[in-house]
């Protein structure tokens, strides 16, 4: 490994040593660290979710009478009503999981949030589908008519049923395109726009629940409670997915200052803004960036901070893999930038041991570069950077300087994935005291999966392995 002295480019302010006091004439303005996650809030959220679910089930059972159950179609209608209530409730829970509520986001991070959203997704959809089937059968039995005839009657004569049916079909369509094999064929933007229709689907189904649900007809109190729960969910989404990003973007007023080449197909974008010392951020976090330029303003893409902010400056480093990342390289000085975040829980807060090992795959080095800068000095970092060729070792000098400054060890692994496989034995050879450390890894999905698997096979506990996949 060669450790060369760091380059400090004219015009940029990013100081690889992480200790700007050593640089003459420039005072480093400290940024606030992101608040530490509070695991008890996660447990509270889980308890609240199950309490809500229990309340919904009790509501469904309490508003059913034995007489109604004994009537023709009574049992099917009851099953339909219960599956509908619980399915809609879980749909709201899914919306809240991805609402980026800050205390939850700090616990789950991007990967945890998506994992839980995907794990849960089959439930609301299956329950709502069961609801449609059972309610139709139940009503058909009660009216002593056929299922198709009943379906027709629902659409033609029942209040809000047409809207609810459209909502249901939208949910099914979104559920189908979310299946991994199909999702991977779609452009991220297409998938994202389709997902926005889920909010419309939920809105369309709201009214029929109040108008027809046995737990609501003639029960003004449950009508009000259900409406409040829905309004709170919608309000939470609006506040955290729209209001907070707009407020932060207006407060910090970021603009592109400089775009410079870091290596083949990789550029760094330096932005400057106001009051960045108020942006609570930790090393390893990312933001969704919306460059307000022609053709780009409508899409926000996640990129990690590749250095700790140095007010008034921020920096990201972007590898060109598609149309957005390629357009980033052509950004003009002065382009306005809107932000969402900072997000992510791959930060120093997650550390459970004094010492750390950081494993970066390709462009995953960006997040680990800022994390390294943010870690306290006694962490004795072992930094493993994996790249397919030497030219792909971006931010190489900066990482080397940060490692040297912290008296750590830098290991560069250059070659194809086949040549340099990261398995548990290999990891233990590189880092003999692996089990006494926390491991952080970021990068493309294949690398992160390999490293996490290797770390766990080597005996590292779950809570000492932290990762961020640079994909969706
Ligand atoms: C938490 C996180 C941090 C990231 N940090 C960096 C970074 O510091 N530097 C860097 O160069 N790249 C980073 N990425 C990856 C970066 O977001 C994608 O390379 C970029 O969005 C690709 O967009 P595109 O239009 O150029 O390419 P596309 O052709 O649209 O996509 C290429 C691939 O990038 C991924 N991707 C596309 N859009 C998104 C999205 N909105 N969210 C997540 N993944 C997406 C997909 O896996 C896709 O297959 C990060 C990704 C995540 C999730």
Q: What spacing in Å lies between the alpha carbon of 301 and ligand 1's midpoint?
A: 6
Per-chain mean pLDDT for the chain = 91
Q: What spacing in Å lies between the alpha carbon of 302 and ligand 1's midpoint?
A: 6
pLDDT tens digits along 65-115: 888 899 999 999 999 999 999 999 999 999 999 999 999 999 999 889 989
285 touches ligand 1 (CB under 6 Å): no
Q: Is the pLDDT of residue 314 over 60?
A: yes
- Please tell me the distance from the alpha carbon of residue 212 to that of residue 443, in angstroms, as a whole number: 50
Q: How far apart are the first and last CA of the chain?
A: 33
Q: What is the dihedral of CA 128, 237, 45, 195, to 10 degrees?
A: 40
Give me the mean pLDDT over the 249-267 stretch. Answer: 96
Minimal-distance CA residue to ligand 1 atom 40: 301
Residue 56 near residue 89 (C-beta atoms within 8 A): yes
List C-alpha distances in Å: 148 to 143, 151, 153, 154, 205: 12, 5, 9, 10, 21
pLDDT tens digits along 223-236: 999 999 999 999 99
Residue 285 near residue 341 (C-beta atoms within 8 A): yes
Least confident of 91-95, 161-165, 184-188, 461-465: 184-188
Topology annotation, domain 253-343: Elongation Factor Tu (Ef-tu); domain 3 (2.40.30)
pLDDT value at residue 3: 32
Q: Is the pLDDT of residue 11 over 50?
A: no
Q: Is the pLDDT of residue 316 over 60?
A: yes
Nearest to 454 by CA among 410, 421, 423: 423
pLDDT tens digits along 148-164: 999 999 999 987 899 99
321 touches ligand 1 (CB under 6 Å): yes
Minimal-distance CA residue to ligand 1 atom 36: 471
Q: What spacing in Å lies between the alpha carbon of 2 and ligand 1's midpoint?
A: 30
Provide the pLDDT confidence category of residue 10 given band limits of 50, 70 and 90: very low
3-class secondary structure, 161: helix
195 touches ligand 1 (CB under 6 Å): no
Nearest to 134 by CA among 206, 78, 69, 61: 78
- Please tell me the distance from the alpha carbon of residue 189 to that of residue 323, in angstroms, as a whole number: 11
Order across the sheet with 382-387: list the strands: 409-414, 382-387, 355-361, 437-443, 465-469
Q: Is the pLDDT of residue 370 over 50?
A: yes
Q: The domain at 348-469 falls in which architecture? A: 3-Layer(aba) Sandwich (3.40)
Residues in the chain: 472
Choice between 218 and 137, residue whose per-residue pLDDT is larger: 137
pLDDT value at residue 40: 95
325 touches ligand 1 (CB under 6 Å): yes
322 touches ligand 1 (CB under 6 Å): yes
Q: In the chain, where are the structural domains located?
A: 39-217, 253-343, 348-469
What lies within 8 Å, CB to CB, of 452 at 6+ separation is: 441, 465, 467
- Closest ligand 1 atom number to CA of residue 316: 8
Nearest to 363 by CA among 304, 414, 446, 300: 304
pTM of the model: 0.90
Q: Where are the beta strands (DSSP E) in 382-470?
A: 382-387, 409-414, 437-443, 465-469
Residue 140 near residue 147 (C-beta atoms within 8 A): yes
Give me the mean pLDDT over the 142-149 stretch. Answer: 94
- Closest ligand 1 atom number to CA of residue 288: 41
Provide the pLDDT confidence category of residue 13 given band limits of 50, 70 and 90: low
Minimal-distance CA residue to ligand 1 atom 29: 322
pLDDT value at residue 7: 37
Least confident of 83-97, 270-284, 302-316, 411-425: 411-425
470 touches ligand 1 (CB under 6 Å): yes
Nearest to 127 by CA among 175, 95, 177, 194: 175
Give me the mean pLDDT over the 241-267 stretch. Answer: 96
Provide the pLDDT confidence category of residue 263 given band limits of 50, 70 and 90: very high
- Closest ligand 1 atom number to CA of residue 344: 1
What lies within 8 Å, CB to CB, of 469 at 6+ separation is: 111, 442, 443, 444, 445, 448
Choice between 18 and 8, residue whose per-residue pLDDT is larger: 18
Minimal-distance CA residue to ligand 1 atom 46: 471
- Please tell me the distance from the alpha carbon of residue 90 to that of residue 95, in angstroms, as a whole number: 9
Which tokens is 317 given? 């480093």
CA angle 340, 43, 198 (to 5 degrees): 45
- Closest ligand 1 atom number to CA of residue 327: 26
Write the burial class of residue 157 (CB in 10 Å: 0-12 exposed, 13-18 middle, 19+ buried).
Answer: exposed
Q: What spacing in Å lies between the alpha carbon of 317 and ligand 1's midpoint?
A: 12
Minimal-distance CA residue to ligand 1 atom 35: 471
Q: What spacing in Å lies between the alpha carbon of 192 and ligand 1's midpoint?
A: 13
- Please tell me the distance from the alpha carbon of residue 190 to that of residue 194, in angstroms, as a whole number: 6
What lies within 8 Å, CB to CB, of 231 at 6+ separation is: none
188 touches ligand 1 (CB under 6 Å): yes
Q: What spacing in Å lies between the alpha carbon of 121 and ligand 1's midpoint?
A: 23
Ligand 1 pocket test, candidate residues 288, 325, 339, 468, most atoms within 8 A of CB: 325
Q: What spacing in Å lies between the alpha carbon of 321 and ligand 1's midpoint?
A: 8
The 10 Å Cβ neighbour count of residue 232 is 12
Which residues make beta-bridge pairs with 270? 258, 315
Minimal-distance CA residue to ligand 1 atom 27: 322
Give me the mean pLDDT over the 39-63 stretch. Answer: 94
Minimal-distance CA residue to ligand 1 atom 45: 471
286 touches ligand 1 (CB under 6 Å): yes
pLDDT value at residue 27: 66
Provide the pLDDT confidence category of residue 237 given band limits of 50, 70 and 90: very high
List C-alpha distances in Å: 375 to 256, 369, 379: 27, 10, 7
Provide the pLDDT confidence category of residue 183 given band limits of 50, 70 and 90: confident
What DSSP character marks residue 306?
S
pLDDT value at residue 403: 95
Q: Where are the beta strands (DSSP E) in 203-294?
A: 254-263, 266-272, 286-291
Provide the pLDDT confidence category of residue 9 given band limits of 50, 70 and 90: very low
- Please tell me the distance from the alpha carbon of residue 130 to that of residue 138, in angstroms, as a whole number: 12
318 touches ligand 1 (CB under 6 Å): yes
Write out 397-414 in H/E/C secondary structure.
HHHHHHHHHCCCEEEEEE
Ligand 1 pocket test, candidate residues 108, 270, 302, most atoms within 8 A of CB: 302
């Amino acid at each position: 490994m060669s450790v060369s002295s760091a380059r400090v480019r004219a015009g940029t302010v990013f100081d690889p040593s992480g200790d700007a006091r050593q640089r003459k004439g420039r005072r480093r303005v400290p940024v606030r660290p992101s608040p530490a996650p509070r695991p008890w809030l996660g447990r509270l959220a889980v308890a609240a979710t199950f309490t809500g679910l229990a309340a919904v089930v009790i509501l469904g059972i309490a508003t059913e009478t034995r007489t109604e159950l004994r009537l023709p179609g009574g049992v099917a209608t009851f099953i339909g009503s219960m599956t509908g209530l619980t399915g809609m409730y879980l749909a709201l829970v899914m919306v809240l999981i991805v609402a980026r509520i800050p205390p939850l986001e700090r616990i789950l991070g991007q990967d945890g949030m998506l994992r839980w959203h995907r794990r849960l997704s089959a439930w609301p959809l299956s329950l709502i589908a069961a609801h449609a089937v059972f309610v139709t059968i139940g009503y058909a039995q009660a009216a002593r008519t056929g299922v198709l005839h009943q379906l027709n009657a629902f659409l033609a004569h029942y209040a809000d049923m047409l809207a609810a049916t459209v909502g249901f079909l939208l949910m099914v369509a979104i559920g189908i395109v979310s299946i991994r094999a199909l999702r991977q064929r779609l452009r991220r933007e297409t998938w994202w726009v389709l997902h926005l229709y889920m909010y419309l689907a939920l809105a369309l189904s709201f009214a029929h629940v109040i108008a027809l649900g046995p737990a609501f007809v003639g029960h003004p109190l449950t009508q009000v409670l259900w409406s409040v729960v829905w309004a709170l969910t919608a309000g939470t989404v609006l506040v955290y997915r729209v209001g907070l990003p707009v407020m932060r973007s207006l407060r910090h007023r970021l603009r592109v200052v400089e775009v410079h080449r870091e290596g083949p197909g990789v550029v760094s974008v330096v932005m400057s803004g106001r009051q960045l010392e108020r942006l609570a951020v930790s090393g390893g976090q990312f933001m969704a960036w919306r460059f307000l330029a022609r053709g780009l303003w409508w899409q926000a893409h996640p990129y990690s901070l590749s250095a700790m902010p140095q007010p008034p400056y921020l920096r990201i480093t972007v590898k060109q893999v598609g149309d957005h990342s390629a357009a980033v390289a052509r950004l003009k000085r002065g382009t306005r930038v809107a932000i969402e975040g900072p997000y992510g829980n791959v930060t120093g807060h997650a550390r459970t041991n004094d010492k750390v090992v950081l494993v970066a795959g390709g462009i995953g080095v960006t997040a680990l570069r800022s994390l390294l800068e943010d870690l306290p000095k006694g962490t004795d970092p072992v930094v493993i950077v994996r790249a397919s060729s030497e030219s792909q070792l971006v931010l190489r000098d900066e990482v080397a300087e940060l490692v040297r400054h912290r008296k750590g060890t830098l290991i560069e692994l250059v070659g194809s994935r086949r040549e340099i496989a990261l398995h548990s034995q290999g990891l233990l050879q590189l880092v003999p005291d692996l089990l006494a450390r926390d491991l952080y890894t970021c990068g493309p999905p294949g690398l992160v999966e390999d490293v996490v698997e290797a770390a766990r096979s080597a005996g590292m506990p779950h809570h000492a392995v932290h990762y961020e996949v640079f994909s969706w």
